[in-house]
Chain A
Amino acid sequence: MKLRFILPLVVFTALIVLFAIGLNLNPREVPSPLIDKPAPSFDLPQVQQAELRLTRDALTQHPVSLLNVWASWCVACRQEHPFLMELARSKEVPIYGLNYKDERDDAVAWLQRFGDPYLVSGFDHDGRVGIDWGVYGVPETFIVDAQGTIRYKHIGPLSPQVWKEKLEPVVRQLQGGVR
């Protein structure tokens, strides 16, 4: 008899716990299968100087570098942009850009207006390199090591907090052996 009253309560509590966990997960963050895999190779014209190229080899020149996927039409890119500028000024880590599905004029104008935190940005007009890198929402930021392995991927805008909590430890660890 008692069980009849306790059982629904137990089931209800279990459901609440389940929903609480479910609601706190972020379905937008799909783990990338590319983590700890070799970065896909690419060979793109640069945004500002179409006659020059940006290739995967540029990333592996450094012990660790960032590849930030951005576009002039991307609102969240505006949001993270001041932080990227700050990070570029601090020279803590080289930042490369992947300009994703954008128009060249718009991209150049965007960099002129808000500042250019990138060493170089590759111009991925039709988004094919983006597909190879598993990009599905801009902005995204990849951490690539000297061997060309993708060590971390952040989806969504960067911020001082995200940097400190998630990316900086990975970057520091990779720089550790060199500095």
Chain B
Amino acid sequence: MKYSLGVILLLFSLAVQASISAYEFNTPEQESRFNTLSQELRCLVCQNQNIADSNAGLAVDLRRQIHEMILAGKTDQEIIEFMTQRYGEFVLYRPPMRAGTLLLWIGPFALLILGGGIMAWFVRQRVGATQENPLSKAEQKHLADLLKDKK
């Protein structure tokens, strides 16, 4: 048990090691902005990775681009605009809420409510079904007698 815990912890420490960037910044605040931005932008080559995780040529170039823009004093907003102008909102892991993206934002919650509603409806039906034919007085007495005999 202790051994496997150790192995798991070791795996996590490797994952953290791997994401440290090779770029240099003037302030720690710049570096944290770089990390946040490169994690929020999606790589177009390996589409299920962000720019920080991907080692595709384009992701490397875009990391370099973000690094340069941060050092040049660009705001996060300007950098995100730069990317969406070229690659579209597809690169944003958090797209702005608009008519076209509404389904992305509320879809999961709508499904949850729908699923919950259906489940509640089924459960209610079951409860109704079991209460539809309550035992008559005589039956209840018979049942009580049977239970008594068992003791």
Chain A interface residues (CB < 8 Å from chain B): 27-28, 30-34, 101, 126-128, 130-134, 136-137
Contact = CB atoms under 8 A, between A and B. Distances in A.
Q: Chain A CB within 10 Å — which of B44, B47, B86, B89 has the most?
A: B86
A64 B58 CA distance: 29
Interface of B: 44-45, 47, 57-58, 61-62, 65, 84-90
20 contacts: A27-B47, A30-B88, A31-B88, A31-B90, A32-B87, A33-B85, A33-B88, A34-B85, A34-B86, A101-B61, A127-B58, A127-B61, A128-B61, A131-B62, A131-B65, A132-B86, A133-B86, A134-B86, A136-B44, A136-B45
Q: Chain A CB within 10 Å — which of B65, B84, B90 has the most?
A: B90
A30 B65 contact: no
Nearest to A33: B88
Contacts of B84: 33
A11 to B, nearest CB: 10
B87 A136 contact: yes
A39 to B, nearest CB: 12
Nearest to A28: B47
Nearest to A135: B58
Given A136-B44, A137-B45, A127 B57 contact: yes
Given A33-B86, A132-B86, A136-B58, 8 more contacts: A28-B47, A30-B88, A127-B57, A127-B61, A128-B61, A136-B45, A137-B44, A137-B45
Given A136-B45, A137-B44, A137-B45, A30 B90 contact: yes
